[in-house]
Structure formats: structure tokens, C-alpha cells
Amino acid sequence: MQRWWPVQWSELVLVLLLVAASQAASGRPPHNTTIAKPSQLKNNSFCQSRLFWRLPAKDTCPGSILPLRGTVYILYDVNISEGFNLRRDVYIRMAVFVRRLRHRKRFRNVRLVLPPWPRLYHWHSHGLGQSDLMWRNFFDLDSLRRYAPVLDYDEFVAEYRQFGMPAPPYVHVSQAFRLTHYEIMKEQGIFRDKYERITPGASDDSNGHRMEACNENSISGGPLLQQRLLRYGRYHCVRFQGSAGLLQRMLREAIDEDTSGVEDADDMRVYAVLSAETVLHDNWGDEHFWLARRSMRFAQSLNQVAADFRLMSLSTTETTAGVQRPAMWELERPKRDARGGDYLCAHLRRGDFVRSRESTTPTLKAAAQQIKQLLRAFNLTTVFVASDATPYELLELKELFYRFRFVHFTPESNVQRQQLKDGGVAIVDQLICAYARHFVGTYESTFTYRIYEEREILGFSKSSTFNTFCKALGGICARNAVWPIVWNDDDERFY
């Protein structure tokens, strides 16, 4: 006869003895506390054990644990030198990957953990507390979650605590993978998806190619492992070449290594992928890319600041601009007739671009000449400038527009600057440029790329969006690529 009890009696007796022993060893409870009954136990480390999923969990662990059976948490981070807007693109790669991954049986409860924002290279302001920022400071998490199962880092820690952690409360990452590029990407002229683990400290891989520095104490792959509550087990240096789909093989291999048998096959797992910018898009620019991109709605507080500024300084609203911005991104539809406000927007990259891309980045005078030519062509008198220029450069640039109206966004008070931080100011700039009649950006700038994407979603024509500054007025110049939005009304049939 098939036994109705899901666990051996010997196992149950062993568990009960362990519970009784732990209560006896704890001694007298602290003042103003009561001894919890077995059904009231919370945050018990037993909830992580392999027997938990086979016992009547309602009598041992919080009920909220049950839906988390077999959960795989994927943490990731990006090279510390990368900027805000490239990190947004890396998120899209990971979000598309995780959305597809959850259709695999072992990954049906997968969660993508969003890395805290470190203090980035381009965030120059001081005294704003710009380290370890959560994603909800900049993005609408509910909107992100309607595309992919994501958690802000502190939400992940809170959910992990339900399983019980040693004191002080540590998050245990089973395996961390630091991705690096292959020195030679093509074999006999062919690019192949591949990866291999490398011994940390080795100077060459299995094919004799020199490898990049891979040091587990370095933060070059991202400062994620420096988080106070986080501890990790095995650290792997991985030569990686390919799209996000290749990560599935790497993670499946890791799970197999961490599984000893059927007893722990459904245990919760935590893995970390560092230098995730190494991973390529599965299909860049396709409908999956654009679904993830459309879900990246900004935080409501930032949308409101930008809307107020557009109204007060540029006399522009969503209605007058003729853009589409429904309450939910799922309700957006193909559109190409947005008019925009009565102003031109120019994104003029300065800073390191002046040195590293001198051949394609215009001088202030050359940029002003091109902007004024566009203003006359579209019969406009106002230009909004988004730039990382210094205050002195902005003043110099403004003086070149003495017959036109020059507008630039700055926080209206120190309180607002504290709330927005440098990342929020950049987003407000993008939201203002997105509503302009005409836009011109900087060659190879990810900031410009994100504005292109925003305008594509809002419904502007390609001719009013995909424009690039030349090095000089009338000269031959490089142009950014044009990648129009791809729409699909029934995205679920693609998964």
C-alpha cells in the first residue's frame, strides 16, 4: 500500500528531537518575550534544509515560503567604470533572458535581483548620498515586474530572510561568475557562442590566450560582492562569448553541481553574474528588446518634475505635444504623428568625450552653429540643452545664442537636488528632450541612444529623432545608427 505520510517516521522524529533540543539549549527567554509554538516559528534556518519541502511546512515555517519552492535568484552587476545609460541596456539583456528562462522547469521560480547603484563616474555632485541606491529611486518597479520577475536588492534580502539566515544575517551566494572576454573572438573567421571557467590568477586560458585580470577582491566586475550582508562560496573566472541565452547553460551546470540528489533538487539557489555587460543581446532591437524597454517607465516623482518643467518653462504638455503615454506601457500602440513642443532639444556630450572622441565631438561654437541652423529650419526660437558641460562651458554656450532662448534644467532647490540626485537630473533631461519638436544628439553617446528610444515609444517620426551632431557645420560626419521600434500586439506567443 502506498504510504500517505510524505516523510519517513525516522526523519520526523529526528526533526522533533532537534526542535526540542534547540528550545532546551536556548535557556530562559529574554525579557518581554514569549516562547513561540512550532507553528509560529519564523526565520528558522531549518526552512533552508532539504527536509523542509517534504515536511508539512505549515507547522514549521512561514506560509509565505511555500510559493518560493525551487526559487533561483540571479544577482548581477556591471563593470564599475560603466555609466548609467549602458547599465540600463544591460538590464534589458538580463530581463529578456530571465523572462524566457522562467519557462524552463527548474527556473519556473527565477527572480532577477537588481544591483544597487554604486557611485558612478559621471555623478560628480557631493553630499547627495549617491551610493547603494535602489532602482525604485529611478524606475517604476511595478512596471518592470509586468515584464520580468525582478526584485530591488533590499526586497531580495527581505525575501531571503524568510528562509532563515545565520546571525548576523548573511545572504549566501552559492557561486559567483566573473565574466571576461576572449582575447581572440573569432576562430577561423567564425564567431561562436562559448564559455569556459578559468583558474583565478592564471595568465592564460586553455587555448593559450592571455586573459584579462580576474581577481575576486577587485570591484572591476561590479561592487556587488562588497555588499555588507552578502557572502559567497565559489568564485569563478569565466571566459564568456555569446548572448544571454548562453547563461542558461552556465547556470544549469552550477545547479547540477550544487544538487546532491532528489532531496535537495528543489532547494533555493542564489547565483551572481559579474561584468554582465560582457553578455550580448539575444536579438538586439527585436520585439523582445522593445517590450523590455517599454516596461522601463521612470519613477513617478521624476515624471512629475519633468512634466512641471515642460509646462512652466516650455509651455508643453502631453496633449500639446501629441505624444502617447497611457497609464500602462502595455496599452501603447504604433504611432508616428507626435508633434512635440515648440522647442528643439540638443544633447551635447562634453567631459571625457572631448578627449576620447575628439574627431566626432563638436566644439561649443560648432555645436551652436548647427543648433541655430536647425532652429531656423524649423522656425523655432527655443533650444533646450542637455549636457554634462561644466557651468563655465554652459555660460559660454549660452552667450552664443543671444538671439534665441536658451533653456537648461537645474534643480530648483537643494532639497530637490537631494531628492533627484545626479541620476534623477539626467532622467529629467531625457524626459524633456523626449518631448521636443526635433532632437539632435551626440555620436556614440548612450545618453543620446536612450532619448532615441524614448521618442520612438512616444510616437515621433524617425526624421525628427535620429539626428547626430557633426564635428563641424557642413562637414562630413559619422551618424548614429537608426533602429526603429518594433511593435507586437501579442507578445506572449513569442515565448
pLDDT digits (tens, 9 = 90+) for 381-394: 999 999 999 999 99
What parts of the chain have a pLDDT lower than 50? 1-16, 18-19, 22-45, 50-58, 210, 491-495
Three-class HEC string of 189-201: CEECCEEEEECCC
At residue 311's C-alpha, the angle toward residues 309 and 317, to 5°, is 120
Q: Are 111 and 310 in contact (CB under 8 A)?
A: no
CB hemisphere CA count around 44 (13 angstroms):
25
pLDDT at position 12 is 44
Find the helix or strand (DSSP H, E) in which 111 lies. strand 110-113
Active site amino acids: 82
Task: Determine the 3-state secondary structure of 30 from DSSP.
Answer: coil
Task: Determine the 3-state secondary structure of 280 from DSSP.
Answer: strand
**Cα Rg for the chain, rounded, in angstroms?**
26
Within 8 A by CB and 6+ apart from 439, the residues are 344, 345, 346, 347, 433, 451, 452, 455, 460, 464, 465, 467
**CA nearest to 178, candidates 154, 205, 214, 148:** 214
Query: In this predicted model, what pLDDT tens digit does every residue of 160-202 receive, in sequence order?
Result: 988 876 666 689 999 999 999 998 877 767 888 999 998 765 5
d(CA 221, CA 274): 5
Q: Residue 393 burial by CB count (10 A; 0-12/13-18/19+): exposed, middle or buried? A: middle
- Cis check: omega of the bond before 166, within 30 degrees of 0: no
pLDDT at position 47 is 61
**Amino acid type, 23:** Q
In the sheet that 405-407 helps form, which strands lie side by side, from edge to edge? 405-407, 382-387, 341-348, 436-440
pLDDT at position 39 is 35
Domains of the chain (ranges, CATH numbers): 67-202+213-290 (3.40.50.11340), 298-491 (3.40.50.11350)
pLDDT at position 474 is 85
Task: Determine the 3-state secondary structure of 340 from DSSP.
Answer: coil
Strand partners, 272: 75, 176
d(CA 373, CA 347): 16
